[in-house]
């Protein structure tokens, strides 16, 4: 799929990943296209699923969610029904930002935000301890985020 992108498409995607609110006129200047050609390309990138949406990235610390916790989950079994039940349930936990099916020692890795350790204890008690099929959980608290990006290397 990436082979379908030319250098101009890649420049458009690079700019939009970092500046999603840029105007079409500004974007067209940055990627050296006419505004109408730029608009057509962005529309095509959206239609073909290269661009799946636009979001505002929020400051978790300013909003009162300064604590990030990564939780490794090991299930009792890796049967389809057990995994499907877990995946349905974990999607309903409001504090979970990401859930990844993993290789290695854990079956899933969750990224969770909390106000503090007491709030994480509440999340654990109210949600995590009730997730179906869980055999083991290991939580790791982030001390400091050294680097974070949402930009893919296009």
User: Positive or negative CA dihedral for 59, 60, 61, 64?
Assistant: positive
The span from the CA of 36 to the CA of 134, in Å, is: 53
> Are 2-47 and 67-141 the same fold in CATH?
no
Task: Write the burial class of residue 4 (CB in 10 Å: 0-12 exposed, 13-18 middle, 19+ buried).
Answer: exposed
2-47: CATH, from 3.30.428.10, 1.10.10.60, 3.40.50.1980, 1.10.10.10: 1.10.10.10
- Tens place of pLDDT for every residue, the chain, 154 residues? 566 899 999 999 999 999 999 999 999 999 999 999 999 999 999 999 999 999 999 999 999 999 999 999 999 999 999 999 999 999 999 999 999 999 999 999 999 999 999 999 999 999 999 999 999 999 999 999 999 999 999 9
Q: Which fold does the domain 67-141 belong to in CATH? A: Alpha-Beta Plaits (3.30.70)
pLDDT at 53: 95
The span from the CA of 123 to the CA of 74, in Å, is: 18
Domain ranges of the chain: 2-47, 67-141
The span from the CA of 29 to the CA of 59, in Å, is: 29
């Amino acid at each position: 799929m990436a082979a379908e992108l030319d250098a101009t498409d890649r420049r458009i995607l690079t700019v939009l990943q970092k500046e999603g609110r840029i105007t079409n006129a500004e974007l067209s200047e940055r990627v050296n296209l006419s505004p109408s050609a730029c608009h057509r390309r962005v529309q095509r990138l959206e239609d073909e699923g290269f661009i799946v949406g636009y979001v505002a990235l929020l400051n978790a610390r300013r909003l009162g969610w300064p604590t990030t916790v990564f939780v490794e989950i090991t299930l009792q079994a890796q049967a389809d029904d057990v995994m499907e039940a877990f995946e349905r349930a974990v999607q309903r936990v409001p504090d979970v930002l990401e859930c990844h099916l993993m290789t290695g020692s854990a079956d899933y890795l969750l990224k969770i935000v909390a106000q503090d350790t007491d709030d994480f204890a509440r999340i654990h008690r109210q949600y995590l301890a009730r997730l179906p099929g869980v055999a083991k959980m290991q939580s790791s608290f982030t001390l400091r985020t050294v680097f974070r990006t949402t930009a893919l290397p296009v």
